[in-house]
Amino acid sequence: MAQDHSHDHDHPHGSELSPIEARVRALESLLVEKGYVEPAALDALVEMYETKVGPHNGARVVARAWTDPDFRARLLADATPAIAELGIGGRGGEHMIVVENTPDTHNLVVCTLCSCYPWPVLGLPPVWYKAPPYRARAVIDPRGVLAEFGVTLPETTRITVWDSTAETRFMVLPMRPAGSKGLDEAQLAGLVTRDAMIGTGLAHSPAGEARP
């Protein structure tokens, strides 16, 4: 983010800002002009979410659990300190619970009241996670919601829905995909998507296809 807030941020010449981008730009300029926020503080916040907070953190946790049985046991027993072992934590991740997908059970995370979300491991919540249709239908018709995300499970697979709150945030430990034996942690982390850790997706196979 540019330090000189009297000029537009860098973007290709001739390009137009979307309505949301324009509103954010106007709000940012107003807050800076009124002295409510410091440009340096905004830059630090953006840098934090771009490099330190995001789904890549959760992917590291998943990859470690796939390769280290002792860590996996600690993660499922008491997730917050286990995640902290990887240097991950902070607001929104003080009370974490990790639930494990198995061939018999698939887990789906929602926040029915608002949009409580484990920021330290997953970053900012997607728009659909905060939308009323997802928040309502994930509880009423989880199998139908999963199908809309392209996830079709056997009828014998039980779907468990977890409701995140301001006190407790959930993350899904997806099943390790077939064909990933021999991959190191970094390679395994590359197979883990944000949606897989919410439960609306599955880990990818090494070939790049979503696991059936």
Catalytic residues: 111, 114-116
Cα angle: 94, vertex 123, 168; to 5 degrees: 30
Short-list 177, 175, 172, 184, CA closest to 205: 177
Q: Which of 102, 95, 61 has its CA nearest to residue 80?
A: 95
Angle at the Cα of 45 (from 197 to 92), degrees rounded to 5? 40
- Do 189 and 63 form a contact (C-beta atoms < 8 A)? yes
The type of residue at 113 is L
